[in-house]
């Protein structure tokens, strides 16, 4: 099997109405396009969302780190190439390369980590038990992901509550919990328009710690870090549990 077959490559475009006021594709939409590309790739190789649903399992995104030298602009076509970097018993490492369709220029990369869970118990499942570990045959060692691995945000007591928003119907996706990319939207929404006009997000690194559901109050905390990055944390508040961390991230602007 050659590297080409082990990678999936999907042409997308940045539709005018998925772009922000500066004419660049919104980060949340780009992230969802990457999730969709991941699902196309997995589906074509026998371990997509629908097949896993039929055996009562699901992929859960555990980490995502996007690093963009440039965002696709309105009406521009781009390719998302995705491949598996490695497969461990409980985690799959999947990378992405985003390329301008016209010039072939690389616009950015992304790294993601996925776990397989049992849909009923929500407990992690051994990836290699699905289709006799067939997934491991798709690992592509020939393609390089030219960005640093995910970091770890170390927030202190100085983190401040920037906003609290209630998770609502449109936040919830086919898995029944808050869509991973909606957290990115909620985080970006805490910055005013003027901030977005002055700052371009170069790297968005996010770790998914727990799931939030419709009706949960999402509390978004931020802290400016000594290296110039912004650390972010979201906790959820609801009637049945103690406050719990759901998301943690680091934003780097240029």
Assess 32 for contact with its own copies (CB under 8 A): yes
Q: Is the separation of the CB atoms in 87 and 136 below 8 Å?
A: yes
Residues facing 95 on adjacent strands = 83, 111
Which two structure tokens, joined as six digits, stand for 163? Answer: 């906003």
Per DSSP, helices labelled H in 45-133 are 49-54
For residue 83, how far is the Cα from the chain centroid? 15
Assess 156 for contact with its own copies (CB under 8 A): no
Q: Which stretch binds its own copies (CB under 8 A): 119-127, 173-181, 228-236, 242-250?
A: 173-181
Q: Which stretch binds its own copies (CB under 8 A): 99-107, 121-129, 131-139, 187-195?
A: 187-195
Distance CA 164, CA 212 (A): 13
Interface mask (CB under 8 A) for its own copies, residues 205-234, using x and -? ---------xx-------------------
Least spacing, CB of residue 223 vs its own copies, in Å: 20
Assess 43 for contact with its own copies (CB under 8 A): yes
Which two structure tokens, joined as six digits, stand for 81? Answer: 């190439």
Radius of gyration of the chain (CA): 18
Residues near its own copies (CB under 8 A): 15-21, 23, 26, 28, 32-33, 35-36, 39, 43, 49-50, 74-75, 168-170, 172-176, 179-181, 185, 188-189, 191-193, 196, 214-215
């Amino acid at each position: 099997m050659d590297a080409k077959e082990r990678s999936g490559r999907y042409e997308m475009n940045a539709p005018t109405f998925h772009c922000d006021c500066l004419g660049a594709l919104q980060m949340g939409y780009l992230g969802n396009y990457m999730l969709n590309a991941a699902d196309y790739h997995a589906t074509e190789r026998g371990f997509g969302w629908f097949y896993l649903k039929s055996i009562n399992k699901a992929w859960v995104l555990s980490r995502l780190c996007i690093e963009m030298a440039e965002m696709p602009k309105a009406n521009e076509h781009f390719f998302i190439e995705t491949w598996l970097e490695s497969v461990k018993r409980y985690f799959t490492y999947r990378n992405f390369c985003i390329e301008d369709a016209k010039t072939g220029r690389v616009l950015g990369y992304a790294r993601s980590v996925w776990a397989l869970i049992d849909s009923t118990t929500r407990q992690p499942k051994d990836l290699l038990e699905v289709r006799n570990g067939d997934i491991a045959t798709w690992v592509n060692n020939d393609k390089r992901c030219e960005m640093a691995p995910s970091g770890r945000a170390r927030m202190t007591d100085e983190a401040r509550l920037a906003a609290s928003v209630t998770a609502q119907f449109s936040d919830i996706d086919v898995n029944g919990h808050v869509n991973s990319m909606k957290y990115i939207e909620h985080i970006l929404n805490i910055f005013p328009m003027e901030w977005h006009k002055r700052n371009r997000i170069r790297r968005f690194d996010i770790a998914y710690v727990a799931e939030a559901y419709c009706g949960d109050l999402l509390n978004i905390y931020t802290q400016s870090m000594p290296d110039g990055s912004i650390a972010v944390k979201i906790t959820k508040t609801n009637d049945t549990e103690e406050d719990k961390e759901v998301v943690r991230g680091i934003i780097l602007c240029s």
